[in-house]
C-alpha cells in the first residue's frame, strides 16, 4: 500500500496508530456504557494492531535483508570489506553503464517496497527504515543527475590509488586460490582505470576539470604505482612487493611447491605488465596532455555549468544544514 503521509508522528498522533489517543478513549468510554462485556474487545483490537505492525515489520526486515544481498552483489570490493570470499577474483564496475544499472535496481526496489508493504501499519522504527531506503534512492538520483559535473579522479578521490591499497590491505591470501584471485584483481584494475578515464574524458569535453594541482597528483601517483619491478626503475612496485610476499608465504606453508610459486609469480608479472600497467600509463599520459586545459587555480564547482545547483546538492548531501 502506498504511503499517504510521512513524518506525521507527534504526541497527538503516535507513529503506531491511525487514530488519536483521545478518540480511542472516547470510544472506549462509550463501549463501557453500552455493555460490560464489550471492553474486552478493545485490548484485543489494540493487540491485533500491534501484532499486525510487528508482522509487517518482520516481513519488511526480511525483505530488506534480501535487498541488501542484491545490492551487495554489485560490489565485490564491499563483499571483501565485510569479510566475505564471494566474487573474490573481481572488483567493481566503474562505468557509467554500471551506475545506470544500480540506479534502475534501486528504483525497482523502492517501487517493490511501496507496492508490497503498508507504511502506515509499520511501527516507528520500521517506518524510519522505509524512509531511509527511499532517501537512498533520492541520493542515487541526484548522483546520477550531477555525475557529469563531478571530478572523477583527483588528489582527494583517488580511486587509482585506492584500488591498489584495497588489494594490499584487505585481500587476504591463505592459499593458491586466494592468490589466483589476487592476480585476477590486479588485472581487473586495468579495466577499472580505463572505465574511469572514459568518464574523466567525457566530463572534460564539458569543460569539467579539476585544477592543475589535482592533475599533478594523479600523474605522480599513477607513475609511482608503475615504477619498480616488474616495471622500470629501482626497487619493487607496491603490488609486486605485496603479491610476491603472498606467494612466498603460501609456498612456506607447504600448500604449493616451488614450480607452482614460479608460475604464480609469472601470472602476477603478466597482470601487472600487460593489464594494469598499460592502463595506468594511458591515464597518466592523458592527464599530462590535458593539463594545459585545466585551471591554474581552483575555482570551485560553482564556476561549472549548473555549478551552483550542484554545490547546493553536495551541501545538502554532506551536511545537516
What are the DSSP calls for 17-46, one per residue?
-SS-HHHHHHHHHHHHHH-SSGGGHHHHHH
Residue 54 confidence (pLDDT): 85
| Mean pLDDT, the chain, integer | 86
Q: Which of 67, 68, 113, 75 shows the shortest CA–CA distance to 92? A: 75
Residue 52 confidence (pLDDT): 79
Q: Which residues pair with 229 in a beta bridge?
A: 236
- Across 182-196, 224-238, 300-314, least confident range: 300-314
- pLDDT tens per residue across span 94-127: 999 999 999 999 999 999 999 999 999 999 999 9
* Neighbour-count burial of 287, counting CB atoms closer than 10 A to its CB (0-12 exposed, 13-18 middle, 19+ buried): buried
C-alpha cell at 269: 608479472
Of the pLDDT bands very low, low, confident and very high (cuts 50, 70, 90), residue 7 is very low
Contact assessment for residue 85 and residue 180, using Cβ atoms and an 8 Å cutoff? no
**What is the distance between the alpha carbons of residues 92 and 315, in angstroms, rounded to a whole number?**
27
C-alpha cell at 103: 540506479
The alpha carbons of the chain give a radius of gyration, in whole angstroms, of 28
Q: Identify the residue whose cell numbers are 524510519.
A: 128
- Determine if the pTM surpasses 0.75: yes
User: What stretches of 117-152 show up as alpha helix (H) in DSSP?
Assistant: 124-146
**What is the distance between the alpha carbons of residues 98 and 285, in angstroms, rounded to a whole number?**
25
Of the pLDDT bands very low, low, confident and very high (cuts 50, 70, 90), residue 22 is very low
Q: What values do phi and psi take at 116, rounded to 5?
A: -115, -5
For residue 233, pLDDT over 90 is answered with: no
Q: What values do phi and psi take at 229, rounded to 5?
A: -60, 140
**What is the distance between the alpha carbons of residues 100 and 238, in angstroms, rounded to a whole number?**
33
Of the pLDDT bands very low, low, confident and very high (cuts 50, 70, 90), residue 225 is very high
Helix, strand, coil shares of the chain, percent, nearest 5, are 70, 0, 30
Of the pLDDT bands very low, low, confident and very high (cuts 50, 70, 90), residue 89 is very high
Q: Identify the residue whose cell numbers are 478513549.
A: 25
Of the pLDDT bands very low, low, confident and very high (cuts 50, 70, 90), residue 50 is low
Q: Which residues pair with 236 in a beta bridge?
A: 229
Residue 273 confidence (pLDDT): 98
Residue 45 confidence (pLDDT): 47
C-alpha cell at 182: 589476487
For 7, which DSSP code?
S
Q: Which of 41, 19, 46, 22 shows the shortest CA–CA distance to 31? A: 41
Please report, for the chain, how many H helices and E strands are present, in that order: 12, 0
Of the pLDDT bands very low, low, confident and very high (cuts 50, 70, 90), residue 42 is very low
Determine the average pLDDT of the residues in 24-28: 40
**What is the distance between the alpha carbons of residues 230 and 268, in angstroms, rounded to a whole number?**
9
Residue 49 confidence (pLDDT): 56
For residue 255, pLDDT over 50 is answered with: yes
Q: Which of 197, 166, 183, 170 shows the shortest CA–CA distance to 94? A: 197
Determine the average pLDDT of the residues in 58-74: 98
Amino acid at each position: 500500500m502506498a504511503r499517504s503521509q510521512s513524518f506525521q508522528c507527534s504526541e497527538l498522533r503516535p507513529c503506531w496508530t491511525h487514530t488519536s489517543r483521545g478518540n480511542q478513549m472516547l470510544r472506549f468510554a462509550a463501549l463501557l456504557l453500552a455493555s460490560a462485556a464489550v471492553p474486552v474487545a478493545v485490548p484485543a483490537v489494540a493487540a491485533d494492531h500491534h501484532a499486525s505492525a510487528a508482522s509487517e515489520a518482520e516481513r519488511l526486515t526480511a525483505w530488506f535483508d534480501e535487498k541488501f544481498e542484491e545490492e551487495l552483489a554489485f560490489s565485490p570490493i564491499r563483499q571483501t570489506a565485510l569479510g566475505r570470499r564471494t566474487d573474490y577474483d573481481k572488483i567493481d564496475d566503474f562505468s557509467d553503464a554500471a551506475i545506470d544499472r544500480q540506479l534502475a535496481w534501486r528504483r525497482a526496489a523502492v517501487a517493490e517496497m511501496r507496492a508490497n508493504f503498508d507504511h502506515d501499519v509499520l511501527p516507528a522504527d520500521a517506518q524510519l527504515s522505509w524512509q531511509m531506503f527511499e532517501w537512498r534512492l533520492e541520493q542515487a538520483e541526484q548522483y546520477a543527475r550531477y555525475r557529469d559535473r563531478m571530478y572523477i579522479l583527483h588528489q582527494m578521490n583517488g580511486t587509482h590509488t585506492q584500488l591498489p591499497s584495497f588489494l594490499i590491505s584487505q585481500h587476504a591470501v591463505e592459499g593458491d586460490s586466494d592468490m589466483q584471485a589476487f592476480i585476477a584483481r590486479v588485472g581487473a584494475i586495468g579495466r577499472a582505470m580505463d572505465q574511469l578515464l572514459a568518464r574523466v574524458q567525457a566530463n572534460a569535453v564539458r569543460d569539467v576539470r579539476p585544477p592543475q594541482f589535482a592533475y599533478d597528483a594523479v600523474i605522480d601517483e599513477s607513475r609511482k604505482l608503475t615504477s619498480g619491478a616488474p616495471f622500470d626503475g629501482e626497487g619493487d612496485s607496491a603490488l609486486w612487493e605485496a603479491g610476491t610476499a603472498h606467494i612466498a608465504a603460501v609456498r612456506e606453508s607447504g600448500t604449493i611447491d616451488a614450480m607452482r610459486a614460479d608460475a604464480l609469480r609469472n601470472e602476477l608479472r603478466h597482470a601487472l605488465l600487460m593489464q594494469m600497467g598499460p592502463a595506468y600509463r594511458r591515464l597518466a599520459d592523458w592527464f599530462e596532455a590535458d593539463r594545459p586545459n585545466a585551471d591554474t587555480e581552483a575555482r570551485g564547482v560553482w564556476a561549472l555549468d549548473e555549478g551552483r545547483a550542484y554545490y547546493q546538492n553536495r551541501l545538502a548531501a554532506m551536511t545537516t544544514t
